Chains A and B, each alone.
Chain A
Amino acid sequence: MTAEQLQALLPIIMMASTSVIVMLVVAFIPRHSVISSVTVLGFILTFASLSWTGEVGQGLQVTPLIVVDRFALFYSALLLLASLVITLLSFNYFTKGSGSENQVEPGEFYILLTTATLGAMVLVSSNHFASLFVGMELLGISLYVLVAYLSHYRQGRQGSLEAGLKYLVLSGVASAILLFGIALLYAEFGVLGFGQLGALWSNIGALNGIYAMAGLGLLLAGICFKLSLIPFHMWTPDVYEGAPVMATAYIATISKGAVFVLFLRFFMVSGAFMQEMANNLLILIAIASMLGGNLLALMQSNVSRILAYSSIAHMGYLLVVLLVANTGNVPVSTISESVGFYLVAYIITTLGAFGVMAVRSNMLDTRDTDQVADYKGLFWHSPWLASVLTGMLLSLAGMPLTAGFIAKFYIITMGVEGLKWLLVSTLIIGSAIGLYYYIRIIIVMFMRHDEEPITGKRDRAVSTIDGLVLAALAGVLIWLGVYPGPMIGVIQAAFPG
């Protein structure tokens, strides 16, 4: 390994060191504020180190497993910022529990946040099945614990344990399926790198071997599980509901984002999108997810579950962009740009929505503040919180002035340019259905309490950190919605080399 490669690897090394340091801090100075500050510092330094990787040019292959290119660096930056937001918002969520009889110092939570982010960074830099699997497991195993994290406190949350186990078992099976798919592909082609696979595929044209087809199918199934696309979505609502709210936010943004970025790279580098079979399967999955996610969300009365189903639908929208690729009408760079903008918008929006929930929740309660009824009249006693959540929900619904609108605009544009009328029509129908459950939450927040008695919880004051983080998220949301030009430029530069 040359010094140049080592330098390119710096962010991943920094992140790994952060994990170790946080672990040591947890062991020797077990104070919540110290642990939290060290974690925040670790994320900031790692973020800064992204600009010290030296000139990576068209992408620098570091061992056959990892590639460092502008694409990887951009998404690492995005995921690190999201992790930073989650760490900052977690602080008060856990502080509310301290000082009481079951004083807790949630050190492990922070260690796991850093290891999970390490996994996510490996995923976005991976162009090899081995690093894919390592990254995915690093992320997954950290998440099992994060999801079940609140179950070991005395008044323990049953839901958290249940969610953790469910996620562990199902995700474990999905990993096994994914691994089996990789094994079959290896048996057929004898290579594990995306690029090598792509070269072989472009030589033989359409896949016809039974191993190859089964392998690709199983691989897609494993990835679709992580993205909670229908029919691999069963775990999503339960896990979203049971997990502590910041862990949910992590799954919804970083975990799904990183897996989708990996999926995108795999698609582009290996040329899997040229395979008829993969394409047809994904069309079905996309349509089922767009319709199913939105329809199932209609029946929920829990905000976490609504967001869970809405995330299914949103992942379905994103798939539309990938499916445009094989038409050849749209350059691959534009596909990458659309996915990039959508992910940025989606991550900001989802973080904001869960952020408001986190600010209003307390780890010591038997559940998070996530019933729709908990939000009744919120606007009249906490106007700023309610405004932020309203903005986030409107963004998810794709209303103008918010980043979600530009993101949806991107997807429809891609669909039209690829002449995928069926997918675009489904998207429109799905979005129209989706409006109902988003604005239902909004109207509940604006209900007048001079007539209806307040059933929603009153809040204590929002801490300065939480306030600043939420304000920043809302600011970026509107900035991207009103003047997206600069961000588009940044994303355009982040093209896999």
Chain B
Amino acid sequence: MILAWLLLIPFIGGLVAWLADRKKLVDPALVTLATLLLDLLIVIGFYFTRDAPIEISGQQWMAVLELAWIPRFGIGFVLALDGLGLLMVLLTLFLGVVAVLSSWQEINHRKGFFYFNILWTMSGVIGVFTSLDLFLFFFFWEVMLIPMYFIIGVFGHENRIYAAIKFFIFTQASGLLMLLAIIALVYFHHQSSGVVTFNYFELLGAELSASVAYWLMLGFFIAFITKLPGVPLHTWLPDAHTQAPTAGSVILAGVLLKTGAYGLIRFAVPLFPEASAEFAPVAMSLGAVSIIYAAAMAFAQTDIKRLIAYTSVSHMGFVLLGVYAGNETAARGAVMTMLAHGMTSAALFAFAGAIGQRIHTRDMRQMGGFWRSAPRMGAIVLFFSVAALGMPGLANFVGEFLVLLGAFKANMLLTCIAAIGLILAPVYSLIVIQRIFHGKRLVEKPIPDVTTRETVMMLMMIVVTVGLGVFPQPVMELMASSLDLLPVVAFNDEAGMVSQ
């Protein structure tokens, strides 16, 4: 039941926040913060008081909830949480808190509706990370879109409507392909086993012919890589990020992109292990291309949020590379990168929002010399830029290093190309510092330094980034149980794709 509450609390909190604002009772931002903290406490409390793991088809689960929903189609309301899911839910709630703090002063009109959407996005994302019925998963996959669409389309910047519609159509159209693939998977499973079910555990063992599996895998892959996003389906992301309000960008980069990666790890690869192994070289190439191409694009941007958006594409390329490398090291690296990127990108977007609020532009050509008036902010941004470029001792390094280490065993050439990304990362990371904090001061008024609220928010993320960087072992153990049993671990040698 705890899993249902995880979903319901933000859902109800969203309604309360909206009503509280309409009746002018409480600040909806406070309601949102309280809701998210409550949910976070419940998750943490659950982690420490959990019972012995439940084993379903060889995998360990911390909690499982199974209810009948639409028996006509064998659809159940199945929620389950394992180490990977737990990490993702924690990340979601943590960044939700960050998002609320970062938009504290930015949103002044229609706060109720804004926080309503934030909380409903959270609810949808938690649903995505916990549901293990494919129908339910798709349900949440789509549900999380709508509030995000409103966040961008209503509260965004000047070109928000274009960006919101583009975001919606990209994700929704690719989602329809996934729906088709899900239904077809269920149908073919029904043909071979005689059972109509959308249950993940039962579909894991579906017997499919090779060509069918390949096509279905593509349906899932396209949906997930759109969300990830990977080249060439990434074009919605720079627009969506640039136009979204700060909290929207934080959630998009920190949480929503992770649903794509999570989908690959949980569904695309385990459901179609052989097809994925066959497809792995293509997927890894897309990952390597994403890393290099997006890094180069990032360097060329003048809009600060656009730049950070492209760095996201670049970092998520490592995740794609790691998931398809087909060994445990790389898979762990991929999950680590997801967490690390969640922190750094969220922090950088929060900072871009903070700057935007002070000087009302995102154009880096109009910035410069901020260090003198805002040294603390400069130090914090420097920290996260250095984290993003992969400084040893910080979380991103652990993730990207493990990905490259694992991928090297699978495909040397692609890994070498991808490693060039580690050289490009300092270039685009440091150019941000150079352009904004050094050089001539172009704005007459000195900009105010970070406020206490911003400091607290950034410190929270710094602690996590350093913690993950120097002491990644507990997190590794937590995710291991989820990744150990993934077919992704096994297919490397079988498929014989160790290249020369």
- Rounded to whole angstroms, the CA-CA distance of A448 and B153 in the bound complex is 10
Within 8 Å by CB of B172, from A406, A417, A432, A440, lies: A432
Known: A380-B110, A401-B143, A488-B70. A435 touches B172 (CB 8 A): yes
Residue A348, interface by CB 8 Å: no
Task: Assess the B187–A417 pair: CB atoms within 8 A.
Answer: yes
- Give a binary string over A434-448; 1 marks a CB under 8 Å from any B CB, 0 the rest: 011001100100111
**Residues of chain A with a CB closer than 8 A to B351's CB:** none
Considering the complex, give the chain B residue whose CB is closest to the CB of A399.
B142
> Would you list which residues of chain A between 18 and 55 have a CB under 8 Å from chain B?
none
**Residues of chain B with a CB closer than 8 A to A492's CB:** 72
> Would you list which residues of chain A between 383 and 411 have a CB under 8 Å from chain B?
394, 399-401, 405-406, 409
Known: A431-B176, A484-B70. A400 touches B143 (CB 8 A): yes
Task: Assess the A443–B153 pair: CB atoms within 8 A.
Answer: yes
Task: Assess the B153–A424 pair: CB atoms within 8 A.
Answer: no
**Residues of chain A with a CB closer than 8 A to B71's CB:** 485
Residue A428, interface by CB 8 Å: yes
**Residues of chain A with a CB closer than 8 A to B150's CB:** 446
Residue A77, interface by CB 8 Å: no
- Rounded to whole angstroms, the CA-CA distance of A394 and B147 in the bound complex is 12
Task: Assess the A412–B183 pair: CB atoms within 8 A.
Answer: yes
In the complex, what's the smallest C-beta–C-beta distance from A299 to chain B, in angstroms?
16
> Would you list which residues of chain B between 149 and 188 have a CB under 8 Å from chain A?
149-150, 153-154, 161, 164-165, 168-169, 172-173, 176-177, 179-180, 183-184, 187
Task: Assess the A448–B72 pair: CB atoms within 8 A.
Answer: no
In the complex, what's the smallest C-beta–C-beta distance from B127 to chain A, in angstroms?
10
Considering the complex, give the chain A residue whose CB is closest to the CB of B72.
A488
Besides the known contacts A400-B142, A435-B169, A439-B165, 6 further A-B residue pairs in the complex with CB atoms under 8 A apart? A400-B139, A405-B142, A416-B180, A443-B153, A443-B161, A447-B154
Residue B146, interface by CB 8 Å: yes
Residue A101, interface by CB 8 Å: no
- Rounded to whole angstroms, the CA-CA distance of A448 and B176 in the bound complex is 30
In the complex, what's the smallest C-beta–C-beta distance from A340 to chain B, in angstroms?
13
Residue A413, interface by CB 8 Å: yes
Considering the complex, give the chain A residue whose CB is closest to the CB of B184.
A416
**Residues of chain B with a CB closer than 8 A to A400's CB:** 138-140, 142-143
Known: A431-B176, A485-B71. A446 touches B183 (CB 8 A): no
Known: A399-B142, A400-B143, A488-B72. A436 touches B179 (CB 8 A): no
Task: Assess the A440–B184 pair: CB atoms within 8 A.
Answer: no
- Rounded to whole angstroms, the CA-CA distance of A1 and B6 in the bound complex is 63
13 A-B contacts (beta carbon < 8 Å): A400-B142, A416-B180, A417-B187, A424-B180, A428-B180, A435-B168, A436-B165, A439-B169, A440-B165, A443-B165, A446-B153, A448-B109, A448-B110
Task: Assess the B168–A416 pair: CB atoms within 8 A.
Answer: no
Considering the complex, give the chain A residue whose CB is closest to the CB of B141.
A400
**Residues of chain A with a CB closer than 8 A to B149's CB:** 439
- Rounded to whole angstroms, the CA-CA distance of A345 and B91 in the bound complex is 38
Considering the complex, give the chain A residue whose CB is closest to the CB of B161.
A443
**Residues of chain B with a CB closer than 8 A to A432's CB:** 169, 172-173, 176
- Rounded to whole angstroms, the CA-CA distance of A435 and B71 in the bound complex is 29
Within 8 Å by CB of B187, from A405, A416, A436, A488, lies: A416
Within 8 Å by CB of B146, from A399, A417, A485, lies: A399
- Rounded to whole angstroms, the CA-CA distance of A401 and B109 in the bound complex is 28
**Residues of chain A with a CB closer than 8 A to B5's CB:** none
Within 8 Å by CB of A409, from B69, B169, B183, lies: B183
**Residues of chain B with a CB closer than 8 A to A409's CB:** 135, 179, 183
In the complex, what's the smallest C-beta–C-beta distance from A342 to chain B, in angstroms?
15
- Rounded to whole angstroms, the CA-CA distance of A185 and B90 in the bound complex is 68
Residue B73, interface by CB 8 Å: yes
Residues of A whose CB lies within 8 Å of any CB of B are: 380, 394, 399-401, 405-406, 409, 412-413, 416-417, 424, 428, 431-432, 435-436, 439-440, 443, 446-448, 450, 483-485, 488, 492
DSSP majority for the A interface? helix
Known: A380-B110, A485-B70. A446 touches B180 (CB 8 A): no
Contact-residue size bin, chain B (C-beta under 8 Å from the other chain): 20 to 34
Q: Report which residue of B69, B109, B146 has the largest number of chain A beta carbons within 10 angstroms of its beta carbon.
A: B146
- Rounded to whole angstroms, the CA-CA distance of A424 and B139 in the bound complex is 20
Residues of B whose CB lies within 8 Å of any CB of A are: 69-73, 109-110, 135, 138-140, 142-143, 146, 149-150, 153-154, 161, 164-165, 168-169, 172-173, 176-177, 179-180, 183-184, 187
**Residues of chain B with a CB closer than 8 A to A428's CB:** 173, 176-177, 180
Task: Assess the A439–B183 pair: CB atoms within 8 A.
Answer: no
**Residues of chain B with a CB closer than 8 A to A436's CB:** 165, 169
In the complex, what's the smallest C-beta–C-beta distance from B363 to chain A, in angstroms?
20
In the complex, what's the smallest C-beta–C-beta distance from A241 to chain B, in angstroms?
25
**Residues of chain A with a CB closer than 8 A to B140's CB:** 400
**Residues of chain B with a CB closer than 8 A to A443's CB:** 153, 161, 164-165
In the complex, what's the smallest C-beta–C-beta distance from B25 to chain A, in angstroms?
17
In the complex, what's the smallest C-beta–C-beta distance from A397 to chain B, in angstroms?
8
**Residues of chain A with a CB closer than 8 A to B143's CB:** 399-401
Considering the complex, give the chain A residue whose CB is closest to the CB of B164.
A443
- Rounded to whole angstroms, the CA-CA distance of A431 and B173 in the bound complex is 8
**Residues of chain A with a CB closer than 8 A to B153's CB:** 443, 446
Q: Report which residue of A405, A406, A439 has the largest number of chain B beta carbons within 10 angstroms of its beta carbon.
A: A439
In the complex, what's the smallest C-beta–C-beta distance from A333 to chain B, in angstroms?
12
- Rounded to whole angstroms, the CA-CA distance of A450 and B107 in the bound complex is 13
Q: Which 10 A-B pairs have the closest CB atoms?
A: A432-B173, A400-B139, A400-B142, A428-B176, A446-B154, A416-B183, A416-B187, A488-B72, A416-B184, A443-B153
**Residues of chain A with a CB closer than 8 A to B161's CB:** 443
**Residues of chain A with a CB closer than 8 A to B109's CB:** 448, 450
Task: Assess the B168–A412 pair: CB atoms within 8 A.
Answer: no
- Rounded to whole angstroms, the CA-CA distance of A261 and B150 in the bound complex is 38
- Rounded to whole angstroms, the CA-CA distance of A119 and B145 in the bound complex is 43
**Residues of chain A with a CB closer than 8 A to B177's CB:** 428
- Rounded to whole angstroms, the CA-CA distance of A339 and B179 in the bound complex is 20
In the complex, what's the smallest C-beta–C-beta distance from B183 to chain A, in angstroms?
5
- Rounded to whole angstroms, the CA-CA distance of A424 and B146 in the bound complex is 24
**Residues of chain B with a CB closer than 8 A to A450's CB:** 109
Task: Assess the B72–A485 pair: CB atoms within 8 A.
Answer: yes
In the complex, what's the smallest C-beta–C-beta distance from B243 to chain A, in angstroms?
13
- Rounded to whole angstroms, the CA-CA distance of A483 and B77 in the bound complex is 11
Within 8 Å by CB of A394, from B138, B146, B169, B183, lies: B146
In the complex, what's the smallest C-beta–C-beta distance from A338 to chain B, in angstroms?
11
**Residues of chain B with a CB closer than 8 A to A446's CB:** 150, 153-154
In the complex, what's the smallest C-beta–C-beta distance from A445 to chain B, in angstroms?
10
- Rounded to whole angstroms, the CA-CA distance of A189 and B16 in the bound complex is 67
In the complex, what's the smallest C-beta–C-beta distance from B111 to chain A, in angstroms?
13
**Residues of chain A with a CB closer than 8 A to B146's CB:** 394, 399
- Rounded to whole angstroms, the CA-CA distance of A401 and B124 in the bound complex is 12
In the complex, what's the smallest C-beta–C-beta distance from A416 to chain B, in angstroms?
5
**Residues of chain B with a CB closer than 8 A to A405's CB:** 139, 142
- Rounded to whole angstroms, the CA-CA distance of A395 and B26 in the bound complex is 33
In the complex, what's the smallest C-beta–C-beta distance from B69 to chain A, in angstroms?
8
- Rounded to whole angstroms, the CA-CA distance of A413 and B75 in the bound complex is 13
In the complex, what's the smallest C-beta–C-beta distance from B37 to chain A, in angstroms?
27
In the complex, what's the smallest C-beta–C-beta distance from B311 to chain A, in angstroms?
29
**Residues of chain B with a CB closer than 8 A to A485's CB:** 69-72
In the complex, what's the smallest C-beta–C-beta distance from B455 to chain A, in angstroms?
31
In the complex, what's the smallest C-beta–C-beta distance from A391 to chain B, in angstroms?
10
**Residues of chain B with a CB closer than 8 A to A406's CB:** 70
**Residues of chain A with a CB closer than 8 A to B73's CB:** 413
**Residues of chain B with a CB closer than 8 A to A417's CB:** 187
Q: Report which residue of A394, A424, A443, A492 has the largest number of chain B beta carbons within 10 angstroms of its beta carbon.
A: A443
**Residues of chain B with a CB closer than 8 A to A380's CB:** 110
- Rounded to whole angstroms, the CA-CA distance of A488 and B73 in the bound complex is 11
- Rounded to whole angstroms, the CA-CA distance of A380 and B21 in the bound complex is 13
- Rounded to whole angstroms, the CA-CA distance of A405 and B145 in the bound complex is 14
**Residues of chain A with a CB closer than 8 A to B139's CB:** 400-401, 405
In the complex, what's the smallest C-beta–C-beta distance from B110 to chain A, in angstroms?
7
Considering the complex, give the chain B residue whose CB is closest to the CB of A418.
B187
Task: Assess the B179–A412 pair: CB atoms within 8 A.
Answer: yes
